[in-house]
Amino acid sequence: MSRRGRGSADERVPREGPLSVDQPRRRWTLGPDPLAGDEQPTLQSAINELRKVPPTRMIVTALILVWAILFARYSWEAPVDLPVFGKTIPISTDAERALFDFREVTGENQRKVAQDNRIILIPYTQDTLKATQQRSPLSRTMLSRALANIDRMGAKAIGIDILIDQPQPDDGLLLATLKNMRTPVKLAYATRATAGPEVEQWQQQFMTRWFAQLHGTQVQPASVRFEPDTDNVLRRWPSLPPGLATFLPMAVTGARRDFSYQGSIEFRLPSNGERPVFASMPIDLFADQATAPILAGQVKGRIVLIGGDFPDLDQFETPETRVLANSPTMSGLEAHATMAAQLLDQRLPSSAGPVALWALAILVVLCGAFTAMLDVRPWVVAFVIVGQLAFFGFAPFYYEWHGIDTYGLPAFGWLGGWGLAYAATGAAVRAAGSEQRRYAQSALGKYLPRDIAAQILRDPKKLSLTGEKRSIYTLFTDIEGFTGLSHKLTPDRVASLLNAYLDGMCDIVLDQGGTIDKFVGDAVVAFWGAPIAHEDDADHAATALLAMNRFTLEFSRQHSEDGIELGRTRVGLHYGESVVGNFGGEGRISYTALGDAMNAAARLEGANKYLKTVALISEEARSRTTIDCFRPMGRIVLSGRDTPIVVWEPAPDFDPKLREELVRLWNAFDAGDRSALDAIEQICLTQDNDAALAAFACRLREAGPGGAFKLKEK
């Protein structure tokens, strides 16, 4: 490139280079990620981010999101039977039950109450079995006597949680008593269809014949079928399959036949530990003619429930036993009483319907997905995550405490679905970001060494985006006469030739850890020491200088055509202070270096033409490198500068001993020994074709000891 085409050195360090990167105008600070945009996150930006995800990963992500929705909806139990597990989902179902139990125990429905005077329990106990010497079936004689006495006491209704499913010698006595009952009696009944193997066909036939004999009396069948969860914990009311008798608690409380409720059971605690929620007296007392009349006041106007209360039979765990240590299990008889009281109190909270559960599941997953796509400060993301998890975790407790039935509400499913959505979407976004990161690293790698590019991507703060004063090694190159040569070649040939040349020069800079500042036509501007400095930057810069000399000679030999020869590449290398950072204007910035060091390197490159050299390195740069292959070219004053500068020429092929002698003689002459100049001229006579060495001797004679040769042109 001709000197006229280049202009002044100040013009060679433009504020905005040809390869500047288009970026939105921004106000740079050290706080936020300087490589991130300052756009506010929007739905459209999130969709745009997702569009960058590879199709295969997008499909996988979509499938996981669907799975997350299903999990957030069906974490209590699967909608279909699973192999081995049935409808139970490992871990998830147990977690949902545990959370529900905790909500039940801590909820308002667990308020302590006084003893319920509407219901009384009359159970068979272990003492009863001992007295009757009969365990299974229970003594029907005792039941008959107790019923006859209770009937005279004015009970409101009687529920019997005992299956009469096999013949006994005292059946006649019990049958006669039941036919004579004036009090409504609801007697336990079961079918094979609902009880399964617990009821044989012959037992059901016996019960059917038994109730046929009681047709037209106060005795009616009632279902005593519970539906405990697979962990044997009673949590909800049972379903009522077609053909099954009315559920016992509904029957004794007079509920309508079409009444149905499948919500959770609301257990209560006694306000007085000495007095349970329901009074309980053993059936022995009511079967004894001597004690029964005394207890008439305990029965009148109450619902009487008769059944077994044995520690090893018909016992159920409740949420209380799962949460509170040393809490006793509950007998089936007391469970019936609990549900009857709940029905009498109309404590029948409604639950979220299928539509609401689906909507909530989708909402939870969308929240997790969009949270993963947020591109904001980390503390904002953390606040959003904690806020969402707290909301979705606390919401079921809030609902429970405010009268909404949360059995079946997927609290764990919400958290799990949110987590799945967050993880899957986050992975997809990271995949897109990884693609962008690889692209960014590849792009940075065209101007920076790959290790430095990787460090900047990991820690963008290492890239100063405001401008800072740094001591750097600056290098300028230029092809001698390239402007004139370009007029002789076709545009395609100029482009291919220049691209091949710049590609080789860039490889040298990057291989030696340098930063490519810009290209100005055929000129390459590079520096070492920014954005990240290394201790061996001087050696790398000097090595690059030598490599460029070798490369350009070989490149010129390979690409010179008939009558057309590629000119020499001149190089200047200097060490000094510059302001390094991003500079630019509206919509365009460029990472570059400005200042005296850049100007000095540019003028050193131009000084090669007058010193008959190909490359020059300043004393400031040479003194910091361990490479020893430079010969002195004297002290010069660069155009536009007042301070002299000592310069050296790389001469790796020059005789090392002769180079050492030349350095010694130059130092002696510079110290005032004029005879040293004669010795230098003698060396010049032995180097017939060394124009740079001859010019060096001429400048010394003109400048004199300690003097400097002043260049009048750039």
Q: What is the pLDDT of residue 143?
A: 93
Residue in the structure block whose two tokens are 């490159």: 605
Residue in the structure block whose two tokens are 């400095």: 533
Q: What is the pLDDT of residue 129?
A: 87
Q: Check: CB of residue 305 under 8 Å from CB of residue 121.
A: yes
Instruction: Supply the DSSP string of 274-325, one letter for each residue.
Output: TB-SEEE--HHHHHSTTTGGGGHHHHTTSEEEEEE-BTTBSEEB-HHHHHST
Residues in the chain predicted with pLDDT less than 70, given as ranges, are 1-53, 84, 108-110, 432-466, 562-563, 584-589, 713-714
At 476, is the secondary structure helix, strand, or coil?
strand
Question: Crossing angle of helices 378-401/92-106, nearest 10°?
Answer: 60
Backbone angles phi, psi at 669, to 5 degrees: -65, -40
Residue in the structure block whose two tokens are 């703060």: 461
- State the alpha helices, DSSP H only, in 25-158: 43-51, 55-74, 92-106, 126-132, 140-151
Dist. CA 82–CA 350, nearest whole Å:
29
Q: How many CB atoms lie within 10 A of CB 493?
A: 14
Read off the DSSP letter of residue 238: P
Q: How many CB atoms lie within 10 A of CB 97?
A: 21
Give the angle 494-496-501 at the CA atoms, nearest 5°. Answer: 95
Read off the DSSP letter of residue 587: T
Dist. CA 45–CA 51, nearest whole Å:
10
Element at 186 (helix H, strand E): strand 185-189
Q: What is the pLDDT of residue 8?
A: 36
Length of the chain: 714
Dist. CA 419–CA 116, nearest whole Å:
45
Q: Check: CB of residue 644 under 8 Å from CB of residue 636.
A: yes
The pTM assigned to this predicted structure is 0.59
Backbone angles phi, psi at 141, to 5 degrees: -65, -45
**The token pair that represents 52 in the structure block:** 């960058």
Domain boundaries, the chain: 3-27+468-710, 32-106+349-464, 110-345
At 511, is the secondary structure helix, strand, or coil?
helix
Q: What is the pLDDT of residue 50?
A: 60
For residue 145, what are the contacts with CB-CB under 8 A and spacing of at least 6? 286, 287, 288, 289
CATH superfamily of 3-27+468-710: Nucleotide cyclase, GGDEF domain (3.30.70.1230)
- Which amino acid makes up residue 107? G
Q: What are the beta bridge partners of residue 581?
A: 592
At 409, is the secondary structure helix, strand, or coil?
coil
For residue 42, what are the contacts with CB-CB under 8 A and spacing of at least 6? none
Dist. CA 23–CA 579, nearest whole Å:
21
At 80, is the secondary structure helix, strand, or coil?
coil
Q: What are the beta bridge partners of residue 525?
A: 476, 518
Q: What is the pLDDT of residue 83?
A: 77
Instruction: Supply the DSSP string of 550-577, one letter for each residue.
Output: HHHHHHHHHH-BTTB-PPPEEEEEEEEE
At 520, is the secondary structure helix, strand, or coil?
strand
Read off the DSSP letter of residue 329: P
Dist. CA 355–CA 646, nearest whole Å:
85
Q: What is the pLDDT of residue 95?
A: 92
Distance separating the N- and C-terminal Cα atoms of the chain: 14
What is the per-residue pLDDT across 224-270, written as a single tens digit (0 to 9) for each? 999 999 888 999 999 888 878 899 999 999 988 788 888 899 888 88
Tell me the C-alpha to C-alpha distance, in Å, between residue 455 and each of 24, 329, 528, 536: 23, 63, 16, 17
Backbone angles phi, psi at 181, to 5 degrees: -70, 135
**The token pair that represents 173 in the structure block:** 């006595």
Dist. CA 96–CA 107, nearest whole Å:
16
Dist. CA 295–CA 302, nearest whole Å:
12
**The token pair that represents 292 in the structure block:** 């029964």
For residue 438, what are the contacts with CB-CB under 8 A and spacing of at least 6? none
Q: What are the beta bridge partners of residue 21?
A: 589
Dist. CA 138–CA 129, nearest whole Å:
8
Element at 474 (helix H, strand E): strand 468-479
Backbone angles phi, psi at 58, to 5 degrees: -65, -40
Q: Check: CB of residue 707 under 8 Å from CB of residue 666.
A: no
**The token pair that represents 400 in the structure block:** 């429970």
At 82, is the secondary structure helix, strand, or coil?
strand
- Which amino acid makes up residue 270? P
What is the per-residue pLDDT across 597-623, written as a single tens digit (0 to 9) for each? 999 999 999 999 999 999 999 999 999
Q: What is the pLDDT of residue 355?
A: 92
